[in-house]
Structure 1
Amino acid sequence: MKKIVIFLISLLCSATIYAQKMNVLGDILASADSLAIFFYQHTDGSYQYDTVPVTQGRFTWEADIPEYQKILTTFLPSRKFLDFISENSTIYLTGRANALEVDIYGSGAEKEATLFGLEMQDLTLNIIQKWNAYSTASKTQQSAIKKEIDELNTKKSEQTAAYIREHPDSGMAANLVYQMARTEDYNTVFPLFSALSETTRKSTTGKLIAEKLEKTRKYALQASIFNFSQKDPDGNIISYEDFRGKYLLVDFWASWCAPCRAENPNILKVYNTYKDKGFEVVGISLDTDAIKWVKAIKEDHLPWPQLSDLKGYQNEIAVYYDIYAIPYSLLVSPEGKIIAKGLRGEALNKKLSELFD
């Protein structure tokens, strides 16, 4: 059970607005008496779970919920989970426990989330259909389909931003900003965070957003790259200043990262294409084992400088930029400005072609 709790913490971090007490009443069809388990964030900020007996399909759960948040629940012995949004009210769960077909009533916040999902439903389904078509299309068709997908995603982002601006006091809006802060550029998210009410910005979720923005501000588009320095495999210290005046791809990777290793041939290809036109690459490894790191460099035939402090995920450059998922990259202009992030595969090829061809 402890492993499940740890796994679910990231899902529970989705939102929080205003202190409240909540009652949940359940009337579910179950094959036998069982247990209902609720995972949530307690008023002291810790994550925990409550276990409630289900007798003849009925149960009652009461909890002090710090603020608006997503509650996860399951009915043993099932390992399937459903979620609902907490609210200072009585919430009713009815349906079939075994199949986890449960209806949720009484939560205005849950209704708001459902309505927002319905507003986005057509766009979301359209994007899924386009990706399905992309997987079987020719290369020429894929280019056109990808353009359509990008346009749909832009439209989805615009509708989400409009919703946030129209609902500055909404926990749902804060949740949306929080999710965006984890994936979007600082310059996109900060104006939306500023559009939230002061009370919402001071909430637990608001504080999480502010913390995340403080980190992403460092690698926002057009932000200046900081003058990092680390040792190469031979012990030589190499810094950003050694690359100033060139377009530089800062590539975060590791010998143990399969997607990173799979991307290396593509980086090698573009490196050989543009290295004589003012393009350079520097690898920042999240390895802890020097032997495995050097072995991977040789196996993948990587000719560009490679740096690491062999601290794994605590690599000082990665920590500074809050990079915890690899492969990841920053593309830096000759003037030292970050001009693109997370480029891989065709996206990297396209960007470099725009710059050099």
Structure 2
Amino acid sequence: MKKLLYLAPIALIAACSQPSAEETAFHVTLNYPNIEGQTVELQVSTDKGFEKADTETLVNGTVTLDVDSLEYPTLMLINLPDSRERFLVFGKSGNLTINASKEGAQTKHTYADGEFAEALNGYFNEKMNFQMNSQQLNQEFQQASMMGDSIMIVNLSQGFEKMMAQHQRALIDIAKENGAFGAFIALNELHSAEALTLDTIYQNIPVSAGKSPMVSELKQRVEVLKRVRIGEPLVDVAQPDTTGQLMRLSEQLGDSYTLVDFWASWCGPCRAENPNVVKAFELYKDKGFTVVGISLDRGKEEWVKAINDDNLTWAHMSDLQFWDSEPAAKYGVRSIPSNVMLDENGVIVAKDLREQELQDWLAERLN
């Protein structure tokens, strides 16, 4: 009993002691030599978009901006309206320093201090390296195309796929190791990641960041992707067909397999993949294979024209809501082309089969 009486006052003091305003404030210092007199804004991400939290002027190449209190780690921007430059900021309290410099027409920047400085540096270094390598590969691809070197084109395409996979793995590693910043990376970069990967990122986020809208969105995305994993039954959707009649996905299943194809008339990679889907449909339609196209178009005229131009002679549906497409949301689709393969019972048996992989998958099962 004496021990309890001793601890109670300490608990009371701890409960009544709130952090000071200075302890909860967030300060961002921008060091940008030779850039004088520019207005600098600190903008904070809210459910209404980015809102201005502070405005100061660069003096002697430096400026500090503040936001009084943030409930959770938050995405922010340092905005220079005159030069139209922006620097990503992420944090909750304490200090963050951005060191920027002009190198010709290019602006480079690094982060120091602050809880997420290392994460921000790692993220932008990975992005910059990937961009540089992509540009080099693109130049080689253009040269190979001009020379008509088909072997080199194939090798470069495979090289890009390998490079993209490495880039995604690097971003996943950064996301897993950096708490709430991982939610930002997952939602903005890892569009094709599966539920297990995203759930690992989510599980590494501290509970204290749980009220963050980005963390909540990541949690919802994980739940959606778990619902459409391989082995799960289809998520049924009903949308208008090209005549305006309501069509239900569950009523369009083939006798063997059904490819649910998310695409749009405005999507170049989708249109490039369409001949491959047409080939698969023509080869295996007599063996119970069919396709259901779900478009993320906005206009009916463009949608129907693309169907006719590309000879897509299977069932089609769309709510014409672009990225607000209800079926896309239910299947966790954040980039297109994307697809889901269903068996005759409506169970998901494969995802994102494209190019030769689609042909091989069907040949193995239907030939």
Normalising by the residue count of structure 1, what TM-score does the alignment of the two structures yield? 0.72
- Tell me the amino acid that sits aligned with residue 315 of structure 2: P
Instruction: Give 2:286's match in structure 1, choosing from 276, 287, 299.
Output: 276
* Match status 1:187 vs 2:196: yes
Aligned to 1:298: 308
What SS does structure 2 have at the residue aligned with 1:273?
A: helix
Report 1 or 2 for greater relative contact order, CA contacts < 8 Å, sequence distance ≥ 6: 1
> CA separation in 2, counterparts of 1:191 and 1:328?
23
Aligned to 2:118: 111
- 1:82–1:100 Cα contact (<8 Å) kept: no
- Tell me the amino acid that sits aligned with residue 255 of structure 2: G
> CA separation in 1, counterparts of 2:362 and 2:356?
10
Residue by residue over 1:309-353, the C-alpha shift from the partner in whole angstroms, topping out at 9 and shown as x without a partner, is 455555543343344644332222233222333444344344434
Pick closer, same or farther for the CA change 1:326–1:118 going to 2, 3 Å: closer
* Match status 1:267 vs 2:270: no
- Tell me the amino acid that sits aligned with residue 337 of structure 2: P
- 1:181–1:209 Cα contact (<8 Å) kept: no
Aligned to 1:199: 208
Aligned to 2:9: none
Return the offset for 1:280: 0.8
> CA separation in 2, counterparts of 1:322 and 1:337?
17
Aligned to 2:5: none
> CA separation in 1, counterparts of 2:116 and 2:256?
51
Return the offset for 1:108: 3.9
Return the offset for 1:282: 1.6
* Match status 1:216 vs 2:225: yes
- 2:183–2:201 Cα contact (<8 Å) kept: no
What SS does structure 2 have at the residue aligned with 1:348?
A: helix
- 2:191–2:335 Cα contact (<8 Å) kept: no
Instruction: Give 1:339's match in structure 2, choosing from 336, 349, 360.
Output: 349
Return the offset for 1:256: 4.6
Q: Describe how 1:1-357 pairs up with structure 2 within 5 A.
A: 20-30=24-34, 32-41=36-45, 47-49=50-52, 50-64=54-68, 65-86=70-91, 88-96=93-101, 100-115=107-122, 136=144, 167=177, 170-179=179-188, 182-201=191-210, 203-234=212-243, 237-239=246-248, 240-287=250-297, 289-310=299-320, 313-323=323-333, 325-357=335-367
Residue by residue over 1:52-88, the C-alpha shift from the partner in whole angstroms, topping out at 9 and shown as x without a partner, is 2223434231113443344332434322333344352
Unaligned runs of 5+ in 2: 1-22
What SS does structure 1 have at the residue aligned with 2:192?
A: coil
In the alignment of these two chains, the number of paired residues is: 336
Q: Could you tell me the percent identity over the aligned residues?
A: 24
Pick closer, same or farther for the CA change 1:122–1:219 going to 2, 3 Å: same
What SS does structure 2 have at the residue aligned with 1:29?
A: coil
What SS does structure 2 have at the residue aligned with 1:37?
A: strand
Normalising by the residue count of structure 2, what TM-score does the alignment of the two structures yield? 0.71
Return the offset for 1:109: 1.7
- 1:330–1:338 Cα contact (<8 Å) kept: yes
